[in-house]
Amino acid sequence: QAADPNIAESIQVAITKNGAVLLEGKDIQIPALMRDLERKAKLKPNMRLTLSADESLPYGKITELMGLIRKAGVTKIALSVKQ
C-alpha cells in the first residue's frame, strides 16, 4: 500500500557545534543525507524538515546545508537555533 503523499511527515536534521550533521539523531555524511532526503521527498512531497543548528555555527554553514536540503527536493524547512 502506497503512503499518502498528502500526509506531512516531519524529519529532524541537526548540525552540532563541531559541524557534524545528524539525521533523526544519528550521524550522517552529506551525500547519504542527500540520497535519503531525495528518496523521502519523492514519496512525500509535503514532508516538513526541522533543521536544528547550534547558535555558535557560522550562518553560512547553516544556509549551505539549507540549500542542499532544498536541492534534494524538500521545500518546507523550519529552522531551530539552539543556544
Q: What is the pLDDT of residue 81?
A: 85
Percent helix, strand, coil in the chain, to 5, is 35, 30, 35
DSSP letter, residue 38: H
Look at residues 78, 2, 70 and name the one whose alpha carbon lies nearest to residue 41: 70
Render pLDDT for 31-81 as a digit per residue (tens, 0 to 9). 999 999 999 999 988 889 999 999 899 989 999 999 999 999 999 999 998
Q: What is the pLDDT of residue 4?
A: 56
